[in-house]
Amino acid sequence: MEINFHKITIEDKTFADKIFKDSDIRFCEYTFGNMYCWGSASGLEIFTSDDLIIFGYPKSQKFYMPAGSSDNVKYALEFLKSSYPKLTIMALSESDKDMLKKYFDNEFELTEDTRAFDYIYESEKLQSLSGKKLASKRNHINAFLSDGIWRTEIITCENTSELLTFNKKWCRNLCGHMSGSLASEMCAVEVGINNFEKLGFSGLMLFKNDKLAAYSYGEPINSDTFCVHVEKADVDIRGAYQMINREFVRTFCKNYKYVNREDDAGDEGLRRAKLSYYPTDVGRKYKAVKRK
């Protein structure tokens, strides 16, 4: 098999979706929308075949763990190891880590990549918000519902311009207080909005008294896990974040067992917010650096 990388394009979606859908991977990196929105601006390169996908950054010698059949993944790792002397492999699961130890003995230094841990929840719990631990979420939602009229609207190509306006306002208000990675996220969000239907996203807008209060969008990772890529709300409207969270999952995630709400990008505020929903699992990831 000859492996040649190219810059990621929308045309790569068909192969990538098939491989990810058939996998048991639940990490947010393994959705085409995430790859495209972040990667098209940062130079991500990709190789796809019928049963293998390799993606990463050849210039910096950093790649994500390949996905596909076990034989093809092993072949891809052999290729990367022999081609890149300063190789780093990101987004390894526990089983990936064990595989590297088995096949490559002590050739990689393995460490936890805590900034990349995902927050994974049971879909039913996000829909019901039942139990004492989530009482504060229900209280915020009750406050949102207590005055005014609210409604939701499915995101389509006809109403995405409203999201771009909301996004710019949200960024002006908050980006000055955010880490660099969260500020750069706004560029990826706009790529997603501008290519919404091409990327096959599902999204929901939340209105309070006919004013856009929040929106969210995402896509499936595999057959049992849905990934929420973006969730933005007007912080001056109490309960808007909690309400869009609940309504989005009720609308799009009822047929999925798990919901991945991605990582916290090392931001302490995001970390507290995501932990406050009591994840079922913290998607623990490892990083492998080739030893000299």
Higher-confidence residue of 138 and 176: namely 138
pLDDT of residue 172: 65
Q: Are 261 and 247 in contact (CB under 8 A)?
A: no
Query: For residue 45, what are the CA distances in angstroms to 61, 64, 176?
Result: 11, 11, 31
- Do residue 128 and residue 266 come from a single domain? yes
Cα(99)–Cα(139) distance, integer angstroms: 46
What domain range is 95 assigned to?
6-115+286-290
Q: Indicate if the pLDDT at residue 50 is higher than 70.
A: yes
- Do residue 103 and residue 230 come from a single domain? no
Query: For residue 265, what are the CA distances in angstroms to 51, 88, 182, 258, 262?
Result: 30, 19, 7, 21, 9
- Do residue 233 and residue 94 come from a single domain? no
Q: Indicate if the pLDDT at residue 254 is higher than 80.
A: yes
- Do residue 21 and residue 133 come from a single domain? no
Q: Are 113 and 90 in contact (CB under 8 A)?
A: yes
Residues 127-140 have pLDDT tens digits of 999 999 999 999 99
- Do residue 199 and residue 262 come from a single domain? yes
Region 253-282: mean pLDDT is 92
On whether residue 1 sits in a domain, the answer given is: no
- Mean pLDDT, the chain, rounded, equals 92
For the chain, how big is the Rg over CA atoms in Å?
Answer: 20
- Do residue 105 and residue 240 come from a single domain? no
Residues 57-114 have pLDDT tens digits of 999 999 999 999 999 999 999 999 999 999 999 999 999 999 999 999 889 999 999 9
Q: Indicate if the pLDDT at residue 177 is higher than 70.
A: no
Q: DSSP letter string over the chain? A: -----EE--GGGHHHHHHHHHTS----GGGSHHHHHHHHHHHT-EEEEETTEEEEEETTTTEEEPPEE-HHHHHHHHHHHHHH-TT-EEEEE-HHHHHHHHHHHTTSEEEEE-GGG-EEEEEHHHHHH--SGGGHHHHHHHHHHHTSS-EEEEE--TTTHHHHHHHHHHHHHHHGGGS-HHHHHHHHHHHHHHHTTTTTT-EEEEEEETTEEEEEEEEEESSSSEEEEEEEEE-TTSTTHHHHHHHHHHHHH-TT-SEEE----TT-HHHHHHHHTT--SEEE--EEEEE--
Query: For residue 239, what are the CA distances in angstroms to 118, 150, 221, 242?
Result: 24, 12, 28, 5
Question: Residue 46 is part of a domain; what is its CATH number?
Answer: 3.40.630.30
Residues 181-220 have pLDDT tens digits of 555 677 788 899 999 999 999 999 999 999 999 999 999 9
- Do residue 18 and residue 107 come from a single domain? yes
- Do residue 97 and residue 128 come from a single domain? no
pLDDT of residue 110: 96
Region 160-164: mean pLDDT is 91
pLDDT of residue 105: 87
Residues 2-12 have pLDDT tens digits of 899 999 999 99
- Do residue 151 and residue 79 come from a single domain? no
On whether residue 70 sits in a domain, the answer given is: yes
Side chain identity, residue 108: F
- Do residue 105 and residue 173 come from a single domain? no
- Do residue 140 and residue 224 come from a single domain? yes
Domain count for the chain: 2
Global confidence as pTM:
0.91
Per-residue confidence band for 21, with pLDDT thresholds at 50, 70 and 90? confident
